[in-house]
Amino acid sequence: MIKKVSLEVISSQYIAKDTVEMVLKNDYISQDAVPGQFLHISVVGHTLRRPISIAAVDRHKQTITILFKVIGLGTQALANYQVGSLVDVLGPSGNGFPIEQLSSEDTVLLIGGGIGVPPLYYLGTALKERGIKVQSIIGFQSEAYVFYEQAFQQLGDTYVVTNDGSYGYKGFVTDVVDKIAPFDTYYSCGPAPMLQAVTNAFPHKQGYLSFEERMGRGVGACLACVIETNDDAGYKKICQDGPVFRANEVKI
Ligand SMILES: Cc1cc2nc3c(=O)[nH]c(=O)nc-3n(C[C@H](O)[C@H](O)[C@H](O)COP(=O)(O)OP(=O)(O)OC[C@H]3O[C@@H](n4cnc5c(N)ncnc54)[C@H](O)[C@@H]3O)c2cc1C
Ligand code: FES
């Protein structure tokens, strides 16, 4: 259930170019959140909340980790929050990645691009805990933006791709799919063109996509986040029905 809560900043640091890792403490969200959900964060001085995915939780320490790229005024203001500050959050928000159907015999492929990488880390840790084999492809603009490579490697085989080839493989995440071992299900998060390319690369696989497109008020009323479905369901709202959808369920 979504609640309005205050989260205390435990730590905040830049871990790559324009990319902040922030650890927050809260006894409710840390116990309730599942992979794929996000925090809807109110930043002082800005009316609209900013959605940021949950990248990790530690239920014992009651902490939630988020990773965000500083791209505008809201994320810049959030990056300026000091240790001990309180962050106003609605959460845990959205529907997470479906994983109940997987068995410990299954192999999963995670494919993340840029700010789509963080929610896949939480997903990967949850899958590994269930004994599910994980492989990952993570893509970034260039070497300066790469983060969490070692963390993903601890989950399983990991391929890093950069658009300019300054680190890892050169190109797009879909350029390394021929290196991947056979898998059963994929989960992907990143910009819409990447999600389209991933869907095209695996037309016969079961897959789930998480959309991080811009949102409005995030409570299902403003229609700023609607997305057209490929079936009779008409339009769906990323903030309420997503951010995770089955591949091919919605028009990208
Ligand atoms: C469900 C969900 C989960 C998300 N999780 C993360 C996350 O884990 N880490 C992270 O870094 N970001 C994440 N985002 C994106 C994040 O919400 C935006 O980057 C943030 O709201 C931008 O706020 P701002 O005030 O800094 O930028 P603004 O001042 O609002 O915009 C600055 C510039 O960035 C562009 N922009 C704004 N939002 C987006 C967006 N969503 N996608 C692409 N361009 C955008 C604007 O068009 C503008 O050019 C997520 C978005 C959604 C919907
Ligand atoms: S953000 Fe307003 S309906 Fe989804």
Per-residue pLDDT of the chain in tens (252 residues, 90 and over written 9): 999 999 999 999 999 999 999 999 999 999 999 999 999 999 988 888 999 999 999 999 999 999 999 999 999 999 999 999 999 999 999 999 999 999 999 999 999 999 999 999 999 999 999 999 999 999 999 999 999 999 999 999 999 999 999 999 999 999 999 999 999 999 999 999 999 999 999 999 999 999 997 777 777 788 888 999 988 878 999 998 999 999 989 888
Q: Is the CB of 192 under 6 A from ligand 2?
A: no
At 118 the pLDDT is 98
Q: Are 189 and 117 in contact (CB under 8 A)?
A: yes
Q: Whose CA is nearest to atom 20 of ligand 1?
A: 50
At 241 the pLDDT is 92
CA distance 97 to 109: 13
CA distance 36 to 70: 21
Q: Is the CB of 113 under 6 A from ligand 1?
A: no
At 191 the pLDDT is 93
At 138 the pLDDT is 98
**CA triplet 3, 115, 202: central angle to 5 degrees?**
105
Q: Starting at the edge strand that comes first in sequence, how are the strands of the sheet with 169-170 ordered?
A: 169-170, 158-162, 133-140, 107-113, 185-190, 206-211, 244-246
At 21 the pLDDT is 98
Which ligand has an atom closest to residue 38 CA? 1
- For residues 205-225, one letter each, b for 16 or more C-beta atoms within 10 angstroms of the residue's C-beta and e for the rest, the string is eebbbbbbeebbebeeeeeeb
Q: Is the CB of 138 under 6 A from ligand 1?
A: no
Q: Is the CB of 74 under 6 A from ligand 1?
A: yes
Q: Which residues neighbour 205 within 8 Å (Cβ) at sequence distance 6 or greater?
A: 183, 184, 185, 186, 247
| Predicted model pTM | 0.96
